């Protein structure tokens, strides 16, 4: 094993355009994070930064822009839903990434019976209801850790996940198959 030199100086980070190019080359599943504002108005945004963190307790994380109104509402209510989009949900993914103020008027949603948090049941194959357990600010984003209280499947027929990568939305043709690999 080679000895590595001690790092004594802080290195600069890569140019934002190069970093964006790196990250767009890595396909990820597309989700919409939803929550309620202080007057029970729905908020939500498309998010591709989702990661499972722990099984015990069931915890996931999402990363949201630090100046996002969805993040501000989420932090006030401490409750949110992660809507995992199916392969036919590209229009709603684009809508919720547009910043359009009337996005909830243009998308089908229902309030969760327990929390009231919006669920996008027509566009999501699975929805996880979460409670904020902690946050961490990193650069221009906030990492939100959510303790998962409930997971519900809303798939009415086999559907693959909606993916984003290489600067486009797409899906895997066999993702909704029987899993046999044939």
| C-beta of residue 104 within 8 angstroms of C-beta of residue 118 | yes
The pLDDT, as a whole number, for residue 167 is: 81
Name the percent of the chain lying above pLDDT 70.
Answer: 87
Average pLDDT over residues 137-152: 96
**Residues 108-121: what's their mean pLDDT?**
95
């Amino acid at each position: 094993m080679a000895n590595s030199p001690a790092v004594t100086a802080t290195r600069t980070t890569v140019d934002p355009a190069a970093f964006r190019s790196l990250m767009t080359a890595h396909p990820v599943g597309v989700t919409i994070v939803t929550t309620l504002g202080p007057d029970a108005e729905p908020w939500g945004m498309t998010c591709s930064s989702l990661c499972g963190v722990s099984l015990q307790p069931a915890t996931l994380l999402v990363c949201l822009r630090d100046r996002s109104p969805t993040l501000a509402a989420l932090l006030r209510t401490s409750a949110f839903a992660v809507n995992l989009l199916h392969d036919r949900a590209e229009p709603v993914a684009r809508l919720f990434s547009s910043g359009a103020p009337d996005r909830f008027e243009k998308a089908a949603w229902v309030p969760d019976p327990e929390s009231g948090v919006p669920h996008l049941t027509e566009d999501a194959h699975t929805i996880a209801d979460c409670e904020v357990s902690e946050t961490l600010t990193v650069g221009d984003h906030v990492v939100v850790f959510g303790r998962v209280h409930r997971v519900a499947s809303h798939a009415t027929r086999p559907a693959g996940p909606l993916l984003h990568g290489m600067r486009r939305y797409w899906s895997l043709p066999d993702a909704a198959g029987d899993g046999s690999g044939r």
